[in-house]
Amino acid sequence: MYLEDSYLRECDASVVSVKDEKYVVLDQTVFYPKGGGQPWDTGKLIKDQETFNAVYVGKFSGEISHEVDHAGLKEGDKVHCVLDWERRYKLMRSHTAAHILASLLCNGTGALVTGNQLEEDKIRFDFNLEKFDPEILKEYIERANELFGKDIPVKWYELPREEALKIPGLIKMAEAFPPDIPRLRVVEIVGIDMQADGGTHVKNLKEVGGINVLKTENKGKQNRRVYFPLQ
Ligand SMILES: [Zn+2]
């Protein structure tokens, strides 16, 4: 459900299976499973008066598995799912911010983004860049923050694979080549960027707020790791 509407915070669901008493598969879910550089959602599965905390969510063999903190759920149970919305919303803001940064850095510096990981309150980027100039980075932050003040819509939709792969810059990271499926999900920041992506995003750039630079680290001769916290 998170793929269609990233603003859904709750849903009803039925338990399809339970493995080792704590790995729960549901018939539908609002929980995002770890993947694509975006951490998993946390929250609660509520059955009658009992609350099971969802501490980890992953995707295994195509199924989304919710790890809960104690035993008791069984096949056929009806549950109400509630996200830790504060965490998820920050991840949505930082995911959209990461796309803007990747787009600016790739187009502007010719730097190749070699890795990208979202954390709850910051974005981590690794990029390959021979000449690394912190002053240039500041400029990019300023340009990004200008965009985060604008009313620019963010949309997501599916396209046939062949059509999607014709879009320039759709794949920004070498290791992030999309799975072999007939339709690809595209996240479009209107007029700025399009990326093949399975993550959750805010629907307007304004919601990002802004970013700072926390610190940069050298990771080898040409690799720089940079952390960008949300403002
Ligand atoms: Zn993404």
The Å distance, Cα 19 to ligand 1 centre, comes to: 30
The Å distance, Cα 198 to ligand 1 centre, comes to 7
> Does residue 158 sit in helix, strand or coil?
strand
Contacts of 111 (CB under 8 A, 6+ apart): 105, 127, 128, 129
Q: How much is the pLDDT for 178?
A: 63
Ligand 1 center to 218 CA (angstroms): 24
Predicted pLDDT of residue 135: 78
The token duo for 170 is 């759709």
> 52 C-alpha to center of ligand 1: Å?
29
| Separation of CA 90 and ligand 1 centre (Å) | 14
Cα–Cα distance, 81 to 46 (Å, whole number):
6
Structure tokens at 213: 């630079």
| Residue pointed to by tokens 């479009």 | 188
pLDDT score at 110: 67
198 touches 3 (CB < 8 A): yes
Specify the length of the chain in residues: 231
At 204, phi and psi to the nearest 5? -150, 140
pLDDT of residue 173: 59
13 close to 24: Cβ distance less than 8 angstroms: no
Q: Which ranges constitute the DSSP H helices of the chain?
A: 85-109, 134-147, 161-165
What angle, rounded to 10 degrees, do the helices at 85-109 and 134-147 form?
120
Side-chain-side CA neighbours of residue 182 (13 Å): 0
pTM of the model: 0.91
User: What is the distance in A from the centroid of ligand 1 to the CA of 79?
Assistant: 30
Residue 184 Cα distances to 11, 87, 160, 161, 165, angstroms: 25, 26, 6, 5, 9
- How far, in Å, is the centroid of ligand 1 from the Cα of 68? 27
| Residue 48 CA, ligand 1 centroid: distance in Å | 36
Q: How far is the CA of 77 from the centre of ligand 1 (A)?
A: 34
Q: Are 78 and 187 in contact (CB under 8 A)?
A: no
Residue 114 has a pLDDT of 78
H helices of 111-216, in order, are: 134-147, 161-165
Distance 187 CA to ligand 1 centre (A): 8
Q: Which two tokens stand for residue 209?
A: 């707020």
Tell me the pLDDT of the chain (231 aa) as tens digits. 999 999 999 999 999 999 999 999 999 999 999 998 899 999 999 999 999 999 999 999 889 999 999 999 999 999 999 999 999 999 999 999 999 988 887 777 666 677 889 988 889 988 776 666 777 788 888 999 999 989 999 999 999 988 988 888 787 654 456 667 788 899 999 999 998 889 999 999 999 999 987 777 777 777 888 889 998
Q: What tokens were used for 28?
A: 């539908």
Residue 180 DSSP SS3: coil
| CA 194, chain centre distance (Å) | 15
CA of residue 12 to ligand 1 center, whole Å: 27
CA 116 / ligand 1 centre spacing (Å): 9
